[in-house]
Amino acid sequence: MSENKSQQSISSLPVMEHFYTIQGEGFHSGRAAYFIRIAGCDVGCVWCDVKESWNANEHQTFTTNDIVKFVTDSKTDFCVITGGEPCMYDLTELTQQLKQAGIELAIETSGCYELKGSIDWYCFSPKKFKAPVENAYQLADELKVIISHPSDFEWAESHAKKVADTCKLYLQVEWSKKERFLPLVIAYVKNNPKWKISTQTHKIMNIP
């Protein structure tokens, strides 16, 4: 899908999957949440664990009304919009309807596209494969950096310097390399306590 098409105001979105679960990462870890995984991504993270989300054309399209009903039928009060890269799309209509239904909204994004929509919690997870837009640093409530190489600590600090003082800072080990890098992350956070560790607890619990 082209950038111009994806940034248009639309009343339907390609969705890879949607499910009610427990948020496993970052600031809201442990909280019940309905996840909407929007399909389509051009960032190309080599270690991505949902590469099947990259091609939007391979997934079903749902209307905004359908998506809102999925969320509200679950009786949740919290929804996470993730991807893929959800900010490839204009989320104005979806986020407006969810907010009108009383749903608190979080988004998980690489920050490489401008946000179009109204979000309560902006989780910014920058990637080396595509540079973020400057506005992502201003919006970030949470900075979550994936650690998969020793140089990632310095890279994480370069982003931490650009977010607000109120932004929560997290380091998260790339899952397949946790045995090697988790001890390094633990030591780093002990020496740099402005950071916290984000662990993919949903994988430990064996839930989506």
Task: Select from 20, 14, 28, 31 the least CA-distant residue to 208.
Answer: 20
Confidence of residue 11 (pLDDT cuts 50, 70, 90): confident
Class of domain 3-205: alpha beta
- Mean pLDDT value across the chain: 93
**What global pTM score does this model have?**
0.92
Burial 60-92 (b: 16+ CB within 10 A, else e): eebebeebbebbbebebebbbbbbbbbbbbbbe
**C-beta atoms surrounding 118 within 10 Å:** 13
> What pLDDT sits at residue 6?
44
Q: What single-letter DSSP state applies at residue 43?
A: S
pLDDT at res. 4: 40
Residue 1: pLDDT above 70? no
pLDDT of residue 5: 41
Q: What is the pLDDT of residues 175-207, one digit of tens each?
A: 988 999 999 999 999 999 999 999 999 999 999
Per-residue pLDDT tens digits for 19-60: 999 999 999 999 999 999 999 999 988 888 888 999 999 999
The average pLDDT across 160-172 equals: 98
Q: What is the pLDDT of residue 49?
A: 81
Helix (H, G, I), strand (E, B) or coil at 15: strand
pLDDT of residue 10: 58
The share of the chain scoring above pLDDT 70, in percent, equals 95
Q: How would you classify residue 83: left for phi > 0, otherwise alpha for psi between -120 and 50, otherwise beta?
A: beta
